[in-house]
């Protein structure tokens, strides 16, 4: 078990119908909100209207920013921050999937940043890197997708399309103050969206679980519990779309899996997420789909490292009652998600690997694993190629 600090300053309100509390909770944080959403789904599902009514009845004023695209661009986020500044907002609300929530947290930072500073300047790989030395506006997040866990963490994943870099910004200043996790809001998702969401949730724990060195009994068992829950519950939610109990469990599993609980007591990291971020930074694939297409190949390739194989066997024994690689892929096929990358991605593999080393190598020509072993460009090329159909 590795030493750790655990800090989780988020008030989570979890349950059916809790979205009605949006106005009351927002009022505790500010008077005028920048409401950040995607381009259409929250409007067509009627959720936006519900949230606006709740804000109005609580006397919270708002400005709508509904320009967030999937894989949100830094240009969009800086724009949202400028709007919050211009409109003198003192609160940000993020409503939707991972993209609007990540954008809301970053816009809360952009809104208080000095003139001329882009949120990209705070990214660890930025040439103009600067530490966060301002206090972002308070944020309230309302997820509609039980996947990213953005509502419970201090991470914002942002894409710079000019550089083809998709990178996470992580800082305690980015924690939202409040998260309203209402499983009813997931009812408008398609079967496909829900299935891929489940894969993302599993990956959030599976990656650090498999790449940590040494055991952490309490943490290992907690993670196995959450992973097993998703494996059991997702088929129920897919078969019976109105099963709210299944969606409630799935939603809370999603929040926990990517909360600070994710790395607690482990030294493993979200390595597959790094590989996926380089894939979608060049192809614009949706995040969870990209993960799903890479996961079996990544697990198989990584099993050559002794420390990884040890953890893989443990996962297999405790969760899959057999081989973890085979068990995972079998379950994914049952969920009807893609487990292989489309051949059209092949031509981008060299540039994706260059990006990976440039962003995560820390100036070196390799990425170091917690075991001290090194992964070079050729290793990542092999993983991407293994994932091709």
**CA separation (Å) from 208 to 244, 264, 266?**
29, 10, 7
Contact at 8 Å (CB) between 109 and 149?
Answer: no
Count of CB atoms situated within 10 Å of the CB of 284: 14
Cα dihedral angle (320, 276, 69, 19), rounded to 10 degrees?
Answer: 30
Q: What is the DSSP letter of 317?
A: I
Contact at 8 Å (CB) between 309 and 222?
Answer: no
Nearer to Fe ion, 18 or 200 (CB): 200
Min separation Cβ 201 and Fe ion, Å: 8
Nearer to Fe ion, 182 or 200 (CB): 200
Nearer to Fe ion, 23 or 198 (CB): 198
Cα(96)–Cα(99) distance, integer angstroms: 7
Nearer to Fe ion, 151 or 200 (CB): 200
**CA separation (Å) from 49 to 19, 132, 143?**
12, 34, 15
Helix (H, G, I), strand (E, B) or coil at 16: coil
Cα(170)–Cα(341) distance, integer angstroms: 28
Q: Which residues contact 53 (CB under 8 A, 6 or more apart)?
A: none
Nearer to Fe ion, 200 or 220 (CB): 200
Nearer to Fe ion, 61 or 69 (CB): 69
Q: Which of residues 260-319 bind Fe ion (CB under 5 A)?
A: none
Q: Among the candidate windows 43-51, 127-135, 199-207, 216-224, which touches Fe ion by CB under 5 A? A: 199-207
Q: Strands, E, within the chain: which ranges? A: 11-14, 32-38, 61-68, 91-96, 139-143, 155-160, 165-170, 178-181, 366-368, 374-376
Nearer to Fe ion, 83 or 293 (CB): 293
Min separation Cβ 192 and Fe ion, Å: 16
Min separation Cβ 254 and Fe ion, Å: 10
Min separation Cβ 279 and Fe ion, Å: 12
Q: Among the candidate windows 9-17, 198-206, 226-234, 246-254, which touches Fe ion by CB under 5 A? A: 198-206
Q: Which residues contact 116 (CB under 8 A, 6 or more apart)?
A: none
Contact at 8 Å (CB) between 12 and 181?
Answer: yes
Min separation Cβ 30 and Fe ion, Å: 29
Nearer to Fe ion, 229 or 280 (CB): 280
Contact at 8 Å (CB) between 278 and 352?
Answer: yes
Cα(73)–Cα(55) distance, integer angstroms: 28
* 200 touches Fe ion by CB under 5 A: yes
Q: Among the candidate windows 25-33, 193-201, 217-225, 247-255, which touches Fe ion by CB under 5 A? A: 193-201
Nearer to Fe ion, 123 or 294 (CB): 294
Min separation Cβ 36 and Fe ion, Å: 19
Min separation Cβ 200 and Fe ion, Å: 4
Closest residue to Fe ion using C-beta atoms: 200
Cα dihedral angle (137, 91, 71, 237), rounded to 10 degrees?
Answer: 120
Q: Among the candidate windows 2-10, 196-204, 277-285, 293-301, which touches Fe ion by CB under 5 A? A: 196-204
Min separation Cβ 45 and Fe ion, Å: 22
Min separation Cβ 148 and Fe ion, Å: 6
**Token code pair at residue 165:** 């870099």
Nearer to Fe ion, 34 or 145 (CB): 145
Cα(115)–Cα(317) distance, integer angstroms: 54
* 102 touches Fe ion by CB under 5 A: no
Interface mask (CB under 5 A) for Fe ion, residues 124-163, using x and -? ----------------------------------------
Count of residues interacting with Fe ion (CB under 5 A):
1
Q: Which of residues 70-99 bind Fe ion (CB under 5 A)?
A: none
**Token code pair at residue 36:** 């950040």
Min separation Cβ 147 and Fe ion, Å: 7
Q: Which residues bind Fe ion (CB under 5 A)?
A: 200
């Amino acid at each position: 078990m590795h030493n750790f600090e655990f800090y989780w300053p988020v008030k989570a309100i979890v349950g059916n119908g809790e979205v009605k509390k949006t106005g009351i909770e927002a009022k505790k944080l500010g008077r005028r909100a920048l409401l950040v959403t995607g381009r259409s789904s929250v409007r067509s599902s009627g959720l936006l209207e519900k949230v606006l009514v709740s804000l109005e009845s609580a006397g919270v004023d708002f400005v709508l920013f509904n320009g967030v695209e999937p894989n949100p661009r830094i240009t969009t986020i800086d724009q949202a921050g400028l709007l919050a500044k211009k409109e003198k907002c003192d609160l940000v609300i993020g409503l939707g999937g991972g993209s609007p929530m990540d954008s809301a947290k970053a816009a809360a930072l952009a809104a208080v940043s000095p003139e001329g500073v882009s949120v990209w300047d705070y990214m660890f790989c930025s040439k103009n890197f600067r530490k966060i030395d301002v206090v972002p506006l308070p944020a309230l997040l309302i997820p509609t997708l039980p996947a990213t866990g953005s509502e419970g963490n201090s991470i914002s994943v942002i894409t710079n399309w000019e550089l083809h870099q998709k990178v996470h910004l992580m800082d305690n200043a980015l924690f939202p103050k409040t998260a309203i996790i209402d499983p009813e809001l997931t009812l408008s998702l398609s079967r496909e969206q829900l299935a891929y969401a489940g894969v993302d949730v599993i990956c959030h724990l599976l990656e650090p679980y498999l790449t940590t060195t040494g055991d952490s009994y309490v943490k290992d068992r907690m993670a196995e519990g959450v992973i097993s829950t998703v494996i059991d519950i997702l088929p129920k939610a897919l078969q019976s779309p109105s099963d709210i109990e299944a969606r409630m469990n799935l939603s809370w599993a999603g929040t926990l899996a990517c909360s600070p609980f994710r790395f607690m007591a482990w030294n493993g990291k979200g390595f597959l997420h790094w590989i996926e971020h380089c894939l979608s930074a060049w192809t614009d694939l949706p995040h969870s789909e990209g993960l799903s297409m890479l996961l079996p190949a990544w697990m198989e390739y990584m099993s050559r490292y002794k420390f990884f194989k040890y953890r893989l066997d443990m996962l297999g024994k405790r969760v899959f009652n057999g081989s973890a690689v085979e068990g995972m892929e079998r379950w994914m096929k049952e969920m009807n998600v893609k487990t292989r990358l489309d051949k059209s991605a092949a031509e981008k593999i060299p540039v994706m690997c260059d990006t990976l080393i440039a962003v995560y190598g820390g100036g070196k020509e390799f990425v170091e694993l917690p075991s001290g072993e090194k992964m070079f460009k050729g290793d990542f090329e092999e993983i991407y190629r293994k994932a091709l159909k």
